[in-house]
Amino acid sequence: MSGAVIDGKAFAAGLRARVADFAATFEQAAGRKAGLAVVLVGDDPASQVYVASKAKQTALCGMASFEHRLPEDTAQDALLALIDRLNGDPAVDGILVQLPLPRHLDEQAVVARISPAKDVDGLTPISTGRLALGLPGLVPCTPLGSLMLLKDRLGDLSGLDAVVIGRSILVGKPMAQLLLAENCTVTVAHSRTKNLPDAVRRADIVVAAVGRPEMVRGDWIKPGATVIDVGINRLPPEEGQAKGRLVGDVAYAEALEVARAVTPVPGGVGPMTIAVLLRNAVVAAHRNAGVALADGAL
């Protein structure tokens, strides 16, 4: 038996097209474009690439993109002052601070300063609390994108056994909350979990967000399970190659043999993250401007 490949790239393209439609009708209704501000501190090369890509995609969806690039030695007060300014700027509907921040900055305090109404990354204590309480709010992009892929593939998730491997604030914990809200029975596994393979074997849904290349093996997976691989790991380069291959946290070829469906790396969850960021920005714009948005429309 061979499972299906979940094409996150295609799904993300569809989502971006829907976001562009909503951005256009928003502009007509509100008399201005929806706006997303991205703040980058320092010159980490990977972060530079992410920020450039986010700005480009924002503009392609018909939204205004505001980039704020600050030097590595930016002081905490200066960064907080910028966030206060963006919180008060009516042209800005969403604020994303590119993480990780340089070590001298207090990441938690910076994120907490973002207005919950503009928290498109869903990482402020208010957004996190609202998710835990089951109240509407902005949800972290990677787990929400993963949930979208699961619902597209499986429809109603009610009653399914899910295992989430990883308990980070960014991925594992919000993923578990989202699956619980869909009435899954959720196990959250982490580095201290005893007998992880057995926990995975019981699951109809496996979400791996660990950061360990190909850790989840094919014989851990229940036949017919659906596997979402969030991990992005670069292997050491093979001889004659400048860069190593990108792999996920799941041994992809093995998993495909037993699973119902698996997300590839790259081309699975990765493209969903930016698409959901844009989705969150346009949703925030509607709420901030008091323009109605049909529930579940995006």
| Rounded (5°) CA angle 132-207-230 | 100
Main-chain phi, psi angles of 50, to 5 degrees: -60, -45
**Which of these ranges, 33-41, 71-79, 104-112, 267-275, lies near ligand NDP under the rule CB under 6 A?**
267-275
| Rounded (5°) CA angle 15-61-234 | 65
| The dihedral sign for the CA sequence 52, 95, 72, 100 | negative
Q: Indicate which single residue of 89, 117, 193, 287 sits in contact with ligand NDP (rule: CB under 6 A).
A: 193
Of the two residues 82 and 206, which places its CB atom closer to ligand NDP in the complex? 206
Structure tokens at 221: 């997976």
Check if 119 is active-site.
no
Check if 121 is active-site.
yes
Q: Indicate which single residue of 126, 154, 180, 232 sits in contact with ligand NDP (rule: CB under 6 A).
A: 232
Check if 151 is active-site.
no
Q: Is 231 in the site for ligand NDP (CB under 6 A)?
A: yes
Cα separation, 47 vs 177, in Å, equals: 27
Among residues 119, 121, 204, 249, the one annotated as catalytic is 121
Residues of span 161-190 touching ligand NDP by CB under 6 A: 165-168, 170-172, 189-190
218 Cα distance to chain centroid: 25
- Of 164, 171, 209, 168, the closest CA to residue 188 belongs to 164
Of the two residues 159 and 197, which places its CB atom closer to ligand NDP in the complex? 197
Q: Is 266 in the site for ligand NDP (CB under 6 A)?
A: no
| Rounded (5°) CA angle 173-178-184 | 105
Of the two residues 62 and 166, which places its CB atom closer to ligand NDP in the complex? 166
Q: How far is CA 220 from CA 162, 242, 243, in A?
A: 14, 33, 29
Q: Indicate which single residue of 196, 246, 289, 291 sits in contact with ligand NDP (rule: CB under 6 A).
A: 196
Number of residues that bind ligand NDP (CB under 6 A): 25
Rounded least distance, CB 158 to ligand NDP, Å: 26
Q: What are the catalytic residues?
A: 54, 98, 121
Provide the binding-site residues for ligand NDP, judged by CB under 6 A. 142, 165-168, 170-172, 189-193, 196, 209-212, 230-233, 269-270, 273
